[in-house]
């Protein structure tokens, strides 16, 4: 694919051959790197360029090479990555190690997954306890040895639980107070039994509230690390490189912890985030294997931070060749969400289903996207890394329209904002691009390529996609 990134020269060259030459090969007016002729280490910390009686440190977020004109800066954080991960390994205050995930809920016509009933099956334990939380204390209402129960809503907004034979275990618990969801806990809870719900298996407990239209909100209360395993299995796959999975684990954990009690809507509904693409995809332990388990355990309790706060660790499937500034996508200027040209993702082009795509629209089809008649001309504005951040339309009747930021993707019905626009011989508009998603933060296919083809570890991957961030260990409040 020919993309806008062809206009940006990213020279990922460390000029090792030049560095290996002896100092005697250069005149006194030239710069020398490691005057003993040794090869540069992997990172630039502690490496100096010497010349003219002065010594200057080489920054770890910049790439240099020697030339006849001296030491040349080839790339920096704005064009070649986020500048590297800070190895601070400090601590960050977190709200809780238990996450509440909305599995089924009702928000709008487009986001309506509430269910008429929910069947729970304790697949490797012995029965259930039923109750509610009073603060942090679990209050028992009933216990059963049955491994299969049914939860239903009532017209009184109560929640009813019946056993396999239809006998009532709990009748009509008021669930209008979201702080007192009916909680169903598999036993013996300490041994972490798995519970089957709607075709998936989950660790943790389940919370239920009755909606006004005789349907249920269903919430999975689960340990953060088990939740992260499930997200990694849904957002990536078990077969992906472990270092890519580690990067995904840190992103998923950070994103989830930042959502705890921060979303007004989610909190009002009794959960922290949803299990769909509006937040992070989560299907319990489906697809979790040895690689994902290892990736999560080896990054356990690690969070991405900036200025002693959790970052908004957004990510997308594929960037097509460049990520984008948060300000140019959603209008939020965040110092750690800075667009970078991504030279790594292309290595996985044969595996990445989003590496190249093409969409053709007639002038009339294009006009219908923005409420105009047939389009005569569309003019894109590109960001500093080559993504489309503005589209200006002129119809054959002289009418105009403008799209900004992420609407250049969503309103247009395109996979990403990394594309070019041409016209074919028939006058149709051809959109040729790559990538899938909002283009902010980590690219999942970029992480895959970095780990598989460049042998980069998760710290390098995270430091490339997020600018000026560090890793911190969570400490509960």
Query: Of 75, 103, 128, which one is at a domain's C-terminal end?
Result: 75
The DSSP code sequence of 299-322 is TTTEEEEETTEE----EESB-TTB
pLDDT at residue 70 tops 60: no
What's the pLDDT at 87?
61
Least confident range of 92-106, 157-171, 387-401: 157-171
The answer to the question of residue 93 being in a domain is: no
* Cβ atoms < 10 Å from Cβ of 388: 27
The answer to the question of residue 289 being in a domain is: yes
Residues 420 and 465 in one domain: no
Residues 443 and 420 in one domain: no
What's the pLDDT at 40?
47
Residues 368 and 230 in one domain: no
| Neighbouring-strand partners of residue 436 | 318
The answer to the question of residue 328 being in a domain is: yes
What's the pLDDT at 109?
67
pLDDT at residue 74 tops 90: no
Q: What's the rounded Cα separation, in Å, for the pair 254 and 148?
A: 35
Residues 161 and 282 in one domain: no
pLDDT in tens, 44-56: 444 445 544 445 4
Q: What is the pTM of this model?
A: 0.82
Residues 230 and 291 in one domain: yes
**Domain tally, the chain:** 4
Q: Is 365 helix (H, G, I), strand (E, B) or coil?
A: helix
Q: What's the rounded Cα separation, in Å, for the pair 132 and 173?
A: 10
Least confident range of 47-56, 386-395, 418-427, 449-458: 47-56
Residues 177 and 122 in one domain: yes
**What token pair was written down for 154?**
């009532």
The mean pLDDT value of the chain amounts to 85
Query: Of 26, 56, 75, which one is at a domain's C-terminal end?
Result: 75
Largest separation between any pair of C-alpha atoms in the chain:
92
Q: Give Cβ neighbours of residue 330 (< 8 Å, ≥ 6 apart).
A: 405, 406, 438, 440
What's the pLDDT at 213?
81
What's the pLDDT at 5?
44
What's the pLDDT at 477?
77
Residues 305 and 177 in one domain: no
Residues 369 and 407 in one domain: yes
Query: Going edge to edge, which strands form the sheet with 375-382?
Result: 375-382, 388-395, 400-404
Listed in sequence order, the DSSP H helices in 322-454 are 363-369, 407-410, 444-453
- Alpha carbon of 129 to those of 169, 327, 432: distances in Å? 10, 48, 56
The answer to the question of residue 24 being in a domain is: yes
Q: What is the mean pLDDT of residues 226-252?
A: 99
The pairing of beta strand 86-94 with beta strand 168-174 = unpaired
List of long-range contacts for 17-24, beta carbons under 8 Å, 24+ apart:
18/65, 18/66, 19/66
Range of the domain at 46: 4-75
Least confident range of 86-100, 294-308, 362-376, 437-451: 86-100
pLDDT over 90 for what percent of the chain?
68
What's the pLDDT at 454?
97
pLDDT at residue 425 tops 60: yes
The DSSP code sequence of 456-469 is --HHHHHHHHSTT-
pLDDT in tens, 82-119: 778 876 778 999 988 999 999 999 876 677 788 999 99
The answer to the question of residue 8 being in a domain is: yes
Residues 344 and 230 in one domain: yes
pLDDT at residue 42 tops 80: no
The DSSP code sequence of 400-412 is EEEEETTHHHHTT
**What token pair was written down for 170?**
């709990």
Q: What's the rounded Cα separation, in Å, for the pair 452 and 131?
A: 47
pLDDT at residue 4 tops 80: no
Residues 180 and 291 in one domain: no
Higher pLDDT, 429 or 16: 429
Residues 283 and 307 in one domain: yes
Report how far Cα 48 is from the mean position of its chain's Cα atoms.
36
Q: What's the rounded Cα separation, in Å, for the pair 280 and 314?
A: 10
pLDDT at residue 81 tops 90: no
What's the pLDDT at 265?
65
What's the pLDDT at 77?
37
The answer to the question of residue 104 being in a domain is: no
Q: What's the rounded Cα separation, in Å, for the pair 393 and 220?
A: 46
Q: What's the rounded Cα separation, in Å, for the pair 140 and 282?
A: 28
The residue among 36, 165, 119, 80 whose CA lies nearest residue 340 is 80
What's the pLDDT at 165?
77
CB 409 within 8 A of CB 415: yes
Residues 198 and 231 in one domain: no
The answer to the question of residue 221 being in a domain is: no
Give, as one character, the DSSP assignment of residue 240. Answer: S
pLDDT at residue 370 tops 50: yes
The answer to the question of residue 90 being in a domain is: no
């Amino acid at each position: 694919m020919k993309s806008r990134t062809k206009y940006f020269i990213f020279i990922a060259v460390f000029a090792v051959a030049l560095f290996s030459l002896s100092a005697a090969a250069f005149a006194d007016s030239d710069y020398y790197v490691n005057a003993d002729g040794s090869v540069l280490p992997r990172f630039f910390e502690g490496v100096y360029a010497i010349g003219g009686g002065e010594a200057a440190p080489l920054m770890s977020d910049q790439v240099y090479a020697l030339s006849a004109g001296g030491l040349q800066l080839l790339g920096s954080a704005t064009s070649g990555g986020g500048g590297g991960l800070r190895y601070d390994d400090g601590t960050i205050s977190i709200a809780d190690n238990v996450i509440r995930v909305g599995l089924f809920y009702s928000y709008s016509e487009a986001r309506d997954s509430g269910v008429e009933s929910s069947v729970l099956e304790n697949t490797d334990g012995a029965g259930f306890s039923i109750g509610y939380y009073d603060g942090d204390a679990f209050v028992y209402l009933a216990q059963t040895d049955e491994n299969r129960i049914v939860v239903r809503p009532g017209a009184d907004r109560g929640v009813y639980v019946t056993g396999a034979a239809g006998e009532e275990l709990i009748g009509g618990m008021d669930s209008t107070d979201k702080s007192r969801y009916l909680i169903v806990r598999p036993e013996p809870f300490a041994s972490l039994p798995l519970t089957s719900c709607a075709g998936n298996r989950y660790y943790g407990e389940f919370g239920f509230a009755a909606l006004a239209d005789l349907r249920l909100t269903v919430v999975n209360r689960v340990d953060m690390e088990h939740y992260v395993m499930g997200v990694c299995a849904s957002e990536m796959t078990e077969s992906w490189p472990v270092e890519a999975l580690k990067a995904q684990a840190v992103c998923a954990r950070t994103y989830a912890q930042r959502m705890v009690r921060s979303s007004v809507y989610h909190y009002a509904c009794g959960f922290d985030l949803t299990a769909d693409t509006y937040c992070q995809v989560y299907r319990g332990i489906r697809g979790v294997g040895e690689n994902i388990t290892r990736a999560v355990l080896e990054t356990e309790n690690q969070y991405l931070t900036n200025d002693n706060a959790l970052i908004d660790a957004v990510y997308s499937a594929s960037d097509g060749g460049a990520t984008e500034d948060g300000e140019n996508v959603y209008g939020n200027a965040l110092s750690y969400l800075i667009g970078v040209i991504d030279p790594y993702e292309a290595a996985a082009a044969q595996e990445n289903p989003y590496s190249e795509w093409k969409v053709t629209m007639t002038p009339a089809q294009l006009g219908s996207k923005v409420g105009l008649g047939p389009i005569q001309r569309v003019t894109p504005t590109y960001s500093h890394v080559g993504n489309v951040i503005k589209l200006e339309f002129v119809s054959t009747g002289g009418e105009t329209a403008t799209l900004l930021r992420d609407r250049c993707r969503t309103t247009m019905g395109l996979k990403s904002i990394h594309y070019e626009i041409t016209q074919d011989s028939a006058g149709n508009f051809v959109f040729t691009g790559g990538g899938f998603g909002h283009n902010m933060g980590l690219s999942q296919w970029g992480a895959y390529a970095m780990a598989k083809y460049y042998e980069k570890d998760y710290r390098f991957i995270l430091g490339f996609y997020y600018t000026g961030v560090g890793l911190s260990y969570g400490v509960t409040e």
